[in-house]
Structure 1
Amino acid sequence: MAEQTGVSIRTLYRDIASLQSMGAMVDGEPGIGYVLKPGFMLPPLMFTPEEIEAIVLGSRWVAERTDSGLGNAARSALTRIASVLPSDLRDDLEASTLVIGPSTAIPTDTVDVGLLRKAIRAERKLTLIYRDATGTASERIIWPFALSFFDAVRMLLGWCEMRQGFRHFRTDRIVSAQMSETRYPERRQALFRKWREAEGITKRFD
């Protein structure tokens, strides 16, 4: 079973123990084998009405206000959540009338924002060709650690090697971006924490 599911024996034993703690009638023991008696169903996902509204509204905002990759992921996640909800909660989700209003200005990016997100996840350096507000272009090597989404603009946050400090880059002014194979020397959460302290931001981002 461990080989078929692609997990370790230890993980398999732990998962079986979790099922047993949830009330599943699993007979057997390690090294011998297990039998799941019929009639057991995992409990469905349960949410309060406010949680359903938050999930729907948040997913719709992501679908409408972010890049296509995140938008498609939000729609897919909402569909998957709906598929495992009890019928009454699924009806509430599908009938939600919380909607996202039209944006007055949609960001127009030259680069693939999905690449920027990938560099953040992988903690890789990015080489940017960036134009400032006057149109002057410069090449920057940055350590990207966060991406901020606003209605009219998206901001890439990073440590700039040239400026030796934190800088904010509007994604619609990034002419090109190339992700390096080189990891930057700090973890992105550490950079995020230092940026927050430098900006005097005390609110947690959880």
Structure 2
Amino acid sequence: MRRADRLFQLVQIIRGRRLTTAAFLAQRLEVSERTIYRDVADLQAQGVPLEGEAGVGYRLGAGFDLPPLLFSAEEAMALVASVRLAQPWLDPALARAAELALGRVMSVLPSSTRAAAQALPLFAPPVASASLSPAQQQGLQQWREATQARLRVSLHYRDAEAQSSQRCVRPLGCFYWGGRWTLAAWCELRQDFRSFRLDRLVAVEVQALPQGRFADEPGRTLADYLRSRAPAEVVAQWQQSS
């Protein structure tokens, strides 16, 4: 990789995260941490507002932007593949947003790159035994939106033994396990973390503002859930996206 390309990618990675360590950058860019320190110092000397320090992490100062992104043919094909594979498993709003976002990216690519990406012979049509039903799609969307808005959710749930229960929960995240969605939450009935299978939800009702709003509390957050319940690879994915 040319150094200019590495510097560009370094800024892009930092721009997309709240705080990025030199160790993470070194792993992503396949260089040493010493090289990262040198690259950051050079970028700072050129006026790029990188804030932070070695051993703590870096972030990009407000108001800084880069020219529009250019994608290689392989990167454009990866975007097309990602959207095609994901759409059957997303809720309707996210599926539409993914298609619109992909179209926006495709529209600014050179015609040859765009044509190669759109001709990618990789498809993921809906499968009756695997795709979400309309009710499940709606439930997933309600859960995702409640998670983002920090709103409690009232559930009617049926477990593996077909026992029904009513719960009030704080939604924390949506997890896809390659065959089903599970919804992670802090259960106010059990006073503990619980995971609910999307296909076992009978009804979902998002509580209204202001009573439905909840604030993060120590021991009841997504980070706490991941540390105590999630597989290591899920924790790693969450850390990379934070």
TM-score by length of structure 2 reads 0.61
Greater RCO (CA < 8 Å, at least 6 residues apart): 1
The code of the aligned residue for 2:236 comes to K
Q: Structure 1 residue runs of 4+, over 6 Å off?
A: none
User: Rg larger in 1 or in 2?
Assistant: 1
Q: Work out whether residues 106 and 153 of structure 1, in 8 Å CA contact, stay in contact via their aligned partners in 2.
A: no
Query: What is the aligned partner in structure 1 of residue 226 from structure 2?
Result: 196
The code of the aligned residue for 1:203 comes to A
The match for 2:78 among 31, 48, 54 is 54
Matched residues, number: 164
The code of the aligned residue for 2:124 comes to I
Q: Work out whether residues 76 and 117 of structure 2, in 8 Å CA contact, stay in contact via their aligned partners in 1.
A: yes
In structure 2, what is the Cα distance between the partners aligned to 1:44 and 1:70?
24
The code of the aligned residue for 1:144 comes to P
Query: What is the aligned partner in structure 2 of residue 115 from structure 1?
Result: 142
Q: Deviations over 1:33-78 (max 9, x none)?
A: xxxxxxxxx9553112332122111111221222222222211111
Query: What is the aligned partner in structure 1 of residue 103 from structure 2?
Result: 79
More helix by share: 2
Query: What is the aligned partner in structure 2 of residue 37 from structure 1?
Result: none
Unaligned segments of structure 2, at least 5 residues: 1-46, 48-65
Q: Work out whether residues 76 and 114 of structure 2, in 8 Å CA contact, stay in contact via their aligned partners in 1.
A: no
CA RMSD of aligned residues (A): 2.4
Query: What is the aligned partner in structure 1 of residue 23 from structure 2?
Result: none
More strand by share: 1
Query: What is the aligned partner in structure 1 of residue 158 from structure 2?
Result: 131
Q: Deviations over 1:171-204 (max 9, x none)?
A: 11111111112222207xx822111110263524
- CA deviation after TM superposition for structure 1 residue 157, in Å: 0.8
* Partner SS state of residue 96, structure 1: coil
Q: Which moved more, 1:74-83 or 1:62-71?
A: 62-71
Q: Work out whether residues 170 and 185 of structure 2, in 8 Å CA contact, stay in contact via their aligned partners in 1.
A: yes
The match for 1:169 among 196, 199, 222 is 196
1:69 and 2:102 matched? no
Query: What is the aligned partner in structure 1 of residue 57 from structure 2?
Result: none
Q: Work out whether residues 160 and 167 of structure 1, in 8 Å CA contact, stay in contact via their aligned partners in 2.
A: yes
Query: What is the aligned partner in structure 1 of residue 121 from structure 2?
Result: 97
Indicate the percent of aligned positions where both proteins have the same amino acid: 32
